[in-house]
Chains A and B, each alone.
Chain A
Amino acid sequence: MTRRSALKRVLTLLTVSVLAASCADIDQRTFDPAALDRDASVVYAQIVVPSSMDPHRGVTENDLPLLQVIYDRLTDVDTDGNPIPMLAESWELDDEAGTFTLTMRDGATFSDGTPVDAAAVKANMDRILTDPKSTIRSQVDRTIGSVAVLDERRVRFDLVGPGGALPTLLASRPGMMVSPAALNNADLDQNPVGAGAFVMTSSIPGTAYHFDRRPDYWDDDAYRFAKLTFLIQLDTATRMNSLRAGESTMTGVVGPQKEEARAGGLQVFTATGASTSMARISLNSARSEFGDKRVRQAMNLAIDREAISRVLYSGDCIPGAQPYPEGYFAHSDALDDSGWADHDPDRARALLEDAGLSNGFTFTAAVPSLSIYQNNAQVVQQNLADIGIDMKIEVMDATQSRARFVSGEADALVGQFGGGTDPGLYARAAYLPTGGDNPGGLTTDRMPALLDTTARSTDVAERARAYEDLLAEAFDMGPAQIVLCHSVTSVASQGNVGNYEFYKTGGTGLRTMDVSR
């Protein structure tokens, strides 16, 4: 080998290495600490309008991205959805005694200077349990009966039901701590006071919310930038224009928008797996022919989930019939759901014939007037038509469609489940007769006990086994919810953003994100 060819090889190797390194890092770049801009301002453009800055009275999961920067929770979840400490540094469930004891972190304060202590936890829990305007009472009142302060840092929940779900449940709204001094403020929904990393400096409700990072926040390593603005931009093109013009730092993107963002010189981060958010169709088992398990199964088998994912979501929605995505502890690997998840129109027709419906039947689905729901509905309509089921689509606004379904006036609802930090919220809504997603009251005798079992232990492995049993029962019963696919989240951003993490249970990756100079 000559010197020139050796040099050429070395240069080629170097070039390839540099390119490979940059390509490998493009989706999850971590900057050198010296390059971080801790004074940076981040503008997050989002499509959803928050309902309230009061975590206990808000009505929609759309509030969570904002609430999470204002209000720290008692616990948090990692990217896989497993509980980790936050304001509480440890917890202990005593199932026999029916208690759940939290030990609070030392040194955390609310933005008004009030310490985050056991008394603050009690004040918050009492409010959630007794406030007539609380929208989250039903998430905890079957579990927590009362709260007792043991000492400055230890607080005990006296339980009326199994408490194993609390570590994940307290990672969301029920665990969001409001300063006790502000709990009775009439304008708490506009002037929030939490123990989070940011304090809201100004807002135009429904349009823009501005935050400054608290210098006294307990976790110096979290939220490594100084200012944060949430811009509410309902129009997709507006959000993309704002990002391309450099007026915002990042925004969520779906399907073709990812290519548009890349073409505009932006970088795109994509989650490696699906989240708990899912597209689905809910059936009212008390209406139409949906009381028959064979009909529900036939409908599942008629749907081409792969095509829906590929055509409507550009692959950013992982097909599946289970309510929890693969990789999440509540997903059951042991369950053979092929009798529900496969696309098998022949078997679907056979099931309908068994049910005495060889000529099919007609039903009406309420469909929210958003393009993605209408698209889902149209594909499903075609799939069902192939096995002789005539699905009428009734497009109406999102509120009305939900209202008609919840009140039992609609046969079916095409929609989306937003996810959550605890899988029990979905199971309760879908599988118990009192659940909001189960107006037909479809359940089994064992279901309440199985649901209780999922919350007997705080150990994730034990809970996972309990969810296997629960899902086996649910699929034996034949669920009234047809899951289409689980969303894969993507974010487009300016080039100076890195280390953006995705959470299976939803939310933004702002906590770990870096902004370079």
Chain B
Amino acid sequence: MLIFVLKRILAAVPVLLIVTVLSFSMIHLIPGDAAVVAAGDNASADQVAATRAQLGLDRNIVVQYLSWVGSLATGDFGTSLLSSHRNIDAILEALPVTLSLAFVALSWSLVVGVVAGVLAGLRRGTWIDRTLTGLTTLGISMPSFWLGMILVTLFSLQFRLFPATGYSPLGEGVVSWFSHLALPAFALGTVTAAEIARQARAGVVDVLERDYIRTATAKGLPRWKVVMKHTTKNAAVPVVTVFGLQTAALIGGAVIVEQVFGMPGLGSVALKAILERDFPVIQAFVVVITLFVLIVNLLVDVSYAYFNPKARQA
């Protein structure tokens, strides 16, 4: 298992390098000029040119890249073009917000998605299956920002049950923390829950038709044991796959949902940096998100190995 994990980690290194090249190149290829922002609102062309030289943006692009990657290798994620704020500090300050949001969203979507999917799979063709399938279709179709706005209108402005905006750190109380996360997490996790439910249903339906299930049932095993021991574990692989994919997608979705709910998460950091063309922050953000996704993928691979020992040989 250790060798399996080490192989996966080594395989992630080139991916990370490719991402650094792509993020660096894209920032420099897409239109926009950080020097114009840094020079100020009323700067003339000469002042912009002077600022560009001052920031080192007039250096060869390869030199700039190597300098950046060299710093990254030593754990230095750089500093914002416009302030003395270290990029890693900006990201670490915002990370708890986004992680809290992602954690609550993933938790409820996993529980609800698996329960709904297994139930629909076990009751295939019944009204329960049809209702749940309809709800998952609805869930996948609803954009998270739109759902978020509906939830705010209903539960914050009409019924006054949850805050409309903002975030309360866990240290200020679990109730306050959760009440600020409930609506955005619901909005963010709906698509994930629906996707998980669909995959879980498909997995259960597929596994229930397998010979070993028929054999287990024929042996006289109780229904719950067949479901819990033989069905769910074998149906879990596609669910874990979609869970991993959705975790990565969730971070992207969080950027939007955080804006709808005025939350000071990574989305705010990224959006501010993009609006200001503060590319050291954008690059740091991309690298951190890439690391996060690689770790999630690693965990998914490890879970494959748990659910399917044959995967360890791959």
Contact = CB atoms under 8 A, between A and B. Distances in A.
B85 A242 contact: no
Interface stretch (A231-239, A455-463, A496-504): A231-239
Contacts, number: 145
Given A51-B276, A59-B37, A241 B165 contact: yes
Contacts of A235: 259-260, 262
B281 to A, nearest CB: 10
A402 interface: yes
Interface in A185-233: 186-190, 204-208, 231-233
A238 B259 contact: yes
A271 interface: no
B46 to A, nearest CB: 8
Nearest to B271: A234
- What DSSP secondary structure best describes chain A's contact surface? loop
A132 B90 contact: no
Point out which of A52, A242, A264 has the most chain B C-beta atoms below 10 A from its C-beta. A242
B85 A205 contact: yes
The range of chain B's interface size is 35 or more
B268 A435 contact: no
B48 A437 contact: no
A245 B275 contact: no
A128 B174 CA distance: 48
Given A399-B36, A402-B36, A435-B44, A237 B149 contact: yes
A400 B31 contact: yes
Given A49-B276, A189-B83, A439 B269 contact: no
Interface string B24-42: 0000000111101111111
B294 interface: no
Given A190-B85, A241-B157, A407-B48, A231 B32 contact: no
Given A51-B276, A402-B36, A204 B83 contact: no
Given A204-B94, A237-B260, A403 B36 contact: yes
B102 interface: no
A392 interface: no
Contacts of A233: 165, 262
A142 interface: no
B82 A52 contact: yes
Interface string B222-240: 0000000000000000000
Given A52-B82, A59-B41, A400-B33, A247 B165 contact: yes
Interface in B244-294: 259-262, 264, 268-269, 271-272, 275-277
Interface string A408-446: 100000000010000001000100001111010000000
Interface in A255-305: 264
A406 B90 contact: no
B41 A418 contact: yes
A397 B259 contact: no
Contacts of A425: 42
A434 B156 contact: no
A206 B271 CA distance: 9
Given A49-B276, A205-B83, A406 B36 contact: yes
B41 A242 contact: no
B268 A207 contact: yes
B314 interface: no
B47 A138 contact: yes
Contacts of A241: 152-153, 156-157, 164-165
A138 B45 CA distance: 13
A135 interface: yes
Contact of A190 (B83, B272, B277): B83
B40 A60 contact: yes
A208 B264 contact: yes
A468 to B, nearest CB: 24
Given A189-B83, A247-B163, A399-B37, A408 B157 contact: no
Contacts of B46: 434
A60 B82 CA distance: 11
B87 to A, nearest CB: 11
Contacts of B39: 59, 135
Contact of B45 (A239, A248, A406): A406
B83 A133 contact: no
Given A190-B83, A429-B42, A204 B165 contact: no
Contact of B165 (A138, A245, A406): A245
Interface in B151-173: 152-153, 156-157, 160, 163-166
B307 to A, nearest CB: 40
A396 interface: yes
A205 B80 CA distance: 11
B54 A51 contact: no
B165 A439 contact: no
A52 B33 CA distance: 18
Contacts of A189: 83-85
Contacts of A437: 42
B28 to A, nearest CB: 13
B272 A436 contact: no
A206 B42 contact: no
Contacts of B83: 51-52, 189-190, 205
A439 B230 CA distance: 74
Interface of B: 31-34, 36-48, 54, 82-85, 90, 93-94, 149, 152-153, 156-157, 160, 163-166, 259-262, 264, 268-269, 271-272, 275-277
Given A244-B157, A397-B31, A407-B48, 10 more contacts: A51-B37, A135-B43, A204-B264, A207-B268, A231-B166, A238-B259, A239-B262, A241-B165, A418-B41, A425-B42
Interface of A: 49, 51-52, 58-61, 132-133, 135-136, 138, 186-190, 204-208, 231-235, 237-239, 241-242, 244-245, 247-248, 264, 396-400, 402-403, 406-408, 418, 425, 429, 434-437, 439
18 contacts: A52-B82, A59-B82, A60-B40, A136-B40, A138-B42, A189-B83, A190-B85, A205-B90, A207-B94, A208-B264, A233-B262, A237-B260, A241-B156, A241-B164, A247-B165, A397-B31, A399-B32, A402-B36
